[in-house]
Every structure is written in structure tokens, then in C-alpha cells.
Structure 1
Amino acid sequence: MTVTDHRQPLLLLPGFLCDEDLWRDQLAGLADVADGRVADLGHGDSIAALAQQVLATAPPRFALAGFSFGGYVAQEIARQASSRIERLALLDTSFHADTPERIAQRRAANRTVSLPGKFRGMTEQLLPSFVAPPRLHDAALAQRINAMTLRQGREVFIRQNAMLREDGEAVLRSLTCPVMVLCGRLDVLTPLALHEEMAALMPQAQLVVVEDSGHMSPMEQPAAVTRAMRTWLSA
């Protein structure tokens, strides 16, 4: 007897220097309703190339969730193949193109990271930009984040950091599928106001604000993000 899997195909796109551990709790918490798979965004020379790689092995139709850098890849997937996206979730990300200043900052960061010495990943100095103040003393969370960035390493840092982020306004305005825009209330890297602006581009979009969370919402408040994603998957 053949058993049919009625779960939705769900593609999860991690952020800058992130891997499948970013989505650990969502993969487990949604396993009864979604067949989740985390894409590897560590290899490629552009966001367009990453989108093509994801599409090459994706099911014909799928739910798509992109976090931070992965949100830009998700928007590029929508640009290339919007008809294949059943529903879209954008978490703690942006839709604005890089400014000349931001491009200069990225290039400077790549020069610094390319210098001889040990790649340190997510240092204690950087952590306050990524997590909410109450989580700064959560040693287990800090260790998980740092381990993830160290697994990705120097070459992925340089590769992902060099990729130009393009403006996503036109592609977001063109979408008709269900959309969730989610942001940690205390996200300082991609603030709530940016997500309000993003959600306003899509009449069908639902804006979800995760309390007591900074930028790393899937790891900082996994239960809240999982609940929001479950609702989104049933929309």
C-alpha cells in the first residue's frame, strides 16, 4: 500500500553565514504539516545564481521562507519563477537595493576578513546587533550562532558579502500568493518600520511582530516564529 505525504513542500532559506541550524526548531515544529528543506546558500557568485540553484532542485510548487540574506534570495526566486511559489514568508529582511555606502562597507569588511588570521565568526562585539538585549547573556544561544557562522567560514562570508542586493519593490508588488512579513520587535539590523513598508506593498500580506526578539527571530523566539509559520502555511 502506498502512503501519500500530504505535507506542503517548504523551502527555507537561511541568512548571511547561517545554515540549517537557524531553522532547527521550525523544521521540528512544522514537521506534521510541512516537508521542510533548508537550502545551501554558501555556493554561488550572485543572488540570481543562488536562486537558480534553489529552483533547479525544488518541487514544481512550494512554500518559500527567506530569512535576512535569504529574503533577498526569496525575492529573486519570485522574480525568476513566481508561478512556482505557493506562499511566501519574509523574515527579518529587506527589499531595498544596496546603497553606494553599503557597498563600500561590504567591500571594506571583505578586505578585513581576508587578512591573515583566524576567522572568528560571530564575535561578542557583533552579537548586540543581532539579538535582543535580554538574550545577550544567553550563552547557549550565542554559542549556537557562533558555531553556525564558523561552520560557514571565511570563504562564504566573502562570497555572500560581495553579492549585490537588488531592489525588490516591483517583484513584491506583483505577487498574488499569500505572504507573511515577520520581524522581531527589537531588530536593529532590519527594523520594524522597514517591514511595515514591505508589507504595505502587498495588500494580501500579513505583518507579524515577534515580541522580545532581535534580528535572529527563528532562534531567539522559535515557538512564536513556528506558530506564525503554521498559520501562514494554512492561509
Structure 2
Amino acid sequence: MEETPTTLVLLPGLLNDERLWAHQAAALADEVDIHIPDLTRDDSIAAMARRVLDEAPEQFALAALSMGGYVAFEIMRQAPERVLRLALFDTMASLDSPERAATRQGLLELAERGRFIGVSPQLMPRLIHPRWLDSQVSATVQQMASAVGKDGFVRQQQAIIKRADSLPMLGDIQVPTLIVVGADDQLTPVSEAWLMHERITGSRLEILEHCGHLPPLEEPELTTILLREWLAVEFDGRGVRDFVYTY
């Protein structure tokens, strides 16, 4: 039987902070200790992972979104014995395509020249589903980006650009793993979630309809439900439960 975690570590994504996980942290606080690390201080994924491990208890459950997923994979390289469960939201194990890598490098160079604008109106529709564009979800995304700021963004992009390919290590993951992706995610699409699901034995894949790249903000209640189930339910690896949430 799998151990029941007493601590849940929640890793934010690029230009995100603790506000990404606000609903989940509040709703689950009576069930587990919550820790949301600051991933803005280091310029490599390996250093981010070491910082998380230094701050975390000996064993913990680990949930991560987007860039946080890259850190989660690195934690699984550095100290897999410390992670009791793994939840991957809207992330990918593969490296960027040449086109995406070039886009990242261009944004990094603009920021280094002092032209950091946070999340632009042009980028917002790629981050969240159109129904949230004129809502508090959009406002929170902007607020988080402003709080991370240019220096944090530069460090994070440098880390992402230099990250390792995590596809080869997916088969080594032996803990109950939940994979969640928004059906309308344009940054880390459903195909990337399926790729991880196929390579992580016994993993569970959840596809959320009418949702973009940020389920913890776009679908906070459902994200909390999925995390609560993942924290409590044993994964037997005998089959796939692909849950598609519809409205």
C-alpha cells in the first residue's frame, strides 16, 4: 500500500507565484501541509530542484504546472525516493521544438534589453481559455507576472532553455502519477500529456474540456477534487481512466 502523504509541495510555472495554487492550498490545508516554493531565484532547473528539496520534508507529494513540471522531473532525477506521489499539470517531458526554442530565446533577449512586458494581451489567449479573458483569472495572471518581474523571468527562461530532456527517464517513475491537461492548452498540448501518460506506468490522465494552460486558476474546484483524489486513492496500474470534464 502506498504511503499517505502529509506534505504537498506545489510548484508554480513560468511567471507564476503562490497565487496559481491559492484555491488548492486553502481547500487542502486541513488535510496536508502545503508548501509552495519560490521558483524565481535560480537560473537552472537543477538549482530550482535542489532548493525545493532543501526546503521540503524527507518525503512529500509533488504537484507541478508547466515549468514546475520541468523542476519536478529534475527532483525525480535527484531524489526519487523522497517523492511519494507525482501530479503533472500542463507540462511536457520533451524538449522544445526549434521554433519554440527560438521564440524563448527572442523573449529572453528582449527582456535582457529591458523590454519585459509580463504577459501581453497577445499571449493571454494562448495561456487561458477565451471565456476567461475578461475575468479575475486574466487579472491574476497579469499580477503574478508583474510580481515575478523581469529579473525573475530572465532566470526562469534561462533555466527552461537549458533544461534536460526528460523523455528518457519517464519509464523510471514508479510512484502514483496523475497527469492533467486542458483540452485547449496551446502551450503544452494534449499530445504531450498522452506521451507522458504512455511512458509512465500506471499513470492516470485527465483531460479538462474548455480549459487552457492553467487549470488551477481556470478550474480551481475541479483541480482541487483531482488533487484530493490523487492524494487518497491507490493507483493499481491496471488501466486508464481518461476523465473529460464537460460543461
Is it true that 1:224 corresponds to 2:222 in the alignment? yes
Deviation for aligned residue 1:190: 0.6
Match of 1:134 in 2: 131
Q: Is the 8 A contact 1:98 1:166 kept in 2?
A: no
Q: 1:91 is matched with which residue: 72, 84, 89?
A: 89
**Structure-2 change in CA distance of 1:87 and 1:7 (3 Å):** closer
Q: Distance in 2 between matches of 1:180 and 1:97?
A: 21
Q: Is the 8 A contact 2:173 2:201 kept in 1?
A: no
3-state DSSP of counterpart to 1:121: coil
Q: Distance in 2 between matches of 1:42 and 1:224?
A: 27
Match of 1:156 in 2: 152
Q: Is the 8 A contact 2:183 2:207 kept in 1?
A: yes
Q: Distance in 1 between matches of 2:100 and 2:54?
A: 31
Q: Is the 8 A contact 1:210 1:225 kept in 2?
A: no
* TM-score, normalised by the number of residues in structure 2: 0.88
The amino acid across from 1:157 in the alignment is F
C-alpha distance after superposition, 1:80-121 (max 9, x if no partner): 10010000000000000234443332221111122345x421
Q: Distance in 1 between matches of 2:122 and 2:59?
A: 41
The amino acid across from 2:78 in the alignment is Q
C-alpha distance after superposition, 1:31-58 (max 9, x if no partner): 1222111011001121011101111121
- Same amino acid, percent of matched pairs: 39
**Structure-2 change in CA distance of 1:42 and 1:67 (3 Å):** same
Match of 1:57 in 2: 55
Q: 2:70 is matched with which residue: 60, 69, 72?
A: 72
Q: Distance in 2 between matches of 1:196 and 1:39?
A: 27
The amino acid across from 2:119 in the alignment is M
Q: Distance in 1 between matches of 2:172 and 2:114?
A: 46
Deviation for aligned residue 1:27: 0.2
RMSD of Structure 2 on Structure 1 (CA) = 1.5
* TM-score, normalised by the number of residues in structure 1: 0.92
Q: Is the 8 A contact 1:172 1:201 kept in 2?
A: yes
Q: Distance in 2 between matches of 1:128 and 1:98?
A: 20
3-state DSSP of counterpart to 2:63: strand
Match of 1:233 in 2: 231
The amino acid across from 1:197 in the alignment is L
Q: 2:118 is matched with which residue: 118, 121, 125?
A: 121
Q: Distance in 2 between matches of 1:185 and 1:230?
A: 21
Alignment of 1:1-235 (within 5 A): 8-116=6-114, 119-138=116-135, 140-163=136-159, 164-235=162-233
**Structure-2 change in CA distance of 1:177 and 1:7 (3 Å):** closer
Q: Is the 8 A contact 1:7 1:35 kept in 2?
A: no
3-state DSSP of counterpart to 1:112: helix
Structure 2, unpaired ranges of 5+: 234-247
The amino acid across from 1:60 in the alignment is E
Mean Cα displacement is larger for which, 149-158 or 128-137?
128-137
Structure 1, unpaired ranges of 5+: 1-5
Q: Distance in 2 between matches of 1:83 and 1:201?
A: 19
Q: What is the aligned length?
A: 228
Q: Is the 8 A contact 2:5 2:60 kept in 1?
A: no
Match of 2:239 in 1: none
Q: Distance in 1 between matches of 2:101 and 2:120?
A: 22
